[in-house]
């Protein structure tokens, strides 16, 4: 049976989470509703992440990896994953496992009708400042994009690969994935998913990243929306 679904996992200095990631993802592969493989994208980690990644991939035939020469950021890691995927569906989850791989099955139930299905973190387990800054940033983004999404920062998504590959990704645009699918006249929906506290490693985004960064990215999105090329071929001869 050919693979139908690839889960992209961006990784940057997550050596303390990777063995747990291997365990949880391996468990999910046994219960996945579609034949699934995992693509680990190492965003130029400086710790022992790459050594662990290679060991994990050697033990698990459904795991593979990409290693960046240098750190290029989360959006670049996601974009590289999208570019490399060959399955009809692509998913995305963070390596800190604050969301549950098992919840991919909830998203996959809806992907036939929709082109992007994103999680909404129910009962978030983050600290107050992180929750509030994220809520404000989502409100700002929603006012600019009118995408109707409550939590685009949720690191649990499933996208039809042909839509994902057409996303003109730039730094920070990982927050705008639903909006970029809407630009392609695609359909999006959000589904409540579980959320857990980070138990290892260090968060890569602070208040600055969650507030000022997204505000600046909103203007970049508006420029892209104005310039975006979208067409449908009616006939070939």
pLDDT, tens digit (0-9, with 9 covering 90-100), for 28-57: 999 999 999 999 999 999 999 999 999 999
Give Cα separations from 232 to 166, 185, 237 (angstroms).
13, 10, 15
Asked if residues 228 and 183 have their Cβ atoms less than 8 Å apart, the reply is yes
What's the number of CA atoms in the CB half-sphere (13 Å) around residue 158?
27
pLDDT at 138: 61
pTM, full prediction: 0.82
Give the residue extent of every domain in the chain: 5-227
More confident residue, 4 or 218: 4
Q: What is the mean pLDDT of residues 207-223?
A: 66
Q: What is the pLDDT of residue 235?
A: 86
Q: How far apart are CA 219 and CA 230, in angstroms?
A: 20
- The pLDDT assigned to 91 comes to 97
Pick the CATH number of 5-227 from 3.40.50.620, 3.20.20.10, 3.90.550.10, 3.30.1490.480: 3.90.550.10
Q: How far apart are CA 91 and CA 108, in angstroms?
A: 9
Q: What is the pLDDT of residues 188-200, one digit of tens each?
A: 999 999 877 666 6
171 or 146, which is more confident?
A: 171
- From residue 97, give the alpha-carbon distance in Å to each of 70, 85, 114: 23, 21, 25
Give me the mean pLDDT over the 206-210 stretch: 54
Residue 144 pLDDT: 63
Residue 204 CA to residue 119 CA, distance in Å, equals: 20
């Amino acid at each position: 049976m050919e693979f139908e679904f690839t889960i992209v996992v961006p990784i940057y200095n997550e050596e303390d989470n990777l063995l747990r990631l291997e365990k949880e993802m391996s468990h999910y592969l046994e219960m996945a509703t579609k034949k699934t493989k995992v693509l680990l994208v190492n965003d130029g980690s400086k710790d022992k992440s790459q050594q662990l990644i290679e060991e994990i991939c050697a033990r698990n035939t459904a795991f593979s990896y990409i290693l960046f020469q240098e750190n290029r950021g989360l959006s670049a890691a996601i974009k590289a994953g999208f570019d490399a995927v060959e399955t009809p569906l692509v998913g995305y989850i963070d390596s800190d496992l604050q969301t549950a791989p098992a919840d991919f099955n909830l998203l996959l139930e809806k992907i036939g009708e929709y082109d992007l299905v994103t999680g909404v973190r129910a009962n978030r387990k983050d600290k107050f400042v992180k929750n509030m800054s994220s809520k404000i940033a989502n409100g700002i983004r929603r006012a600019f994009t009118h995408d109707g999404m409550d939590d685009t920062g949720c690191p649990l998504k499933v996208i039809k690969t042909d839509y994902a590959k057409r996303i003109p990704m730039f730094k920070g645009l990982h927050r705008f994935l639903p909006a970029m699918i809407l630009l392609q006249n695609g359909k999006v929906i959000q589904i409540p998913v579980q959320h857990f506290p980070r138990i290892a490693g260090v968060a890569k985004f602070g208040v600055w990243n969650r507030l000022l960064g997204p505000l600046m990215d909103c203007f970049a999105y508006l420029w892209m929306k104005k310039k975006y090329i979208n067409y449908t071929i009616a006939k070939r001869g």
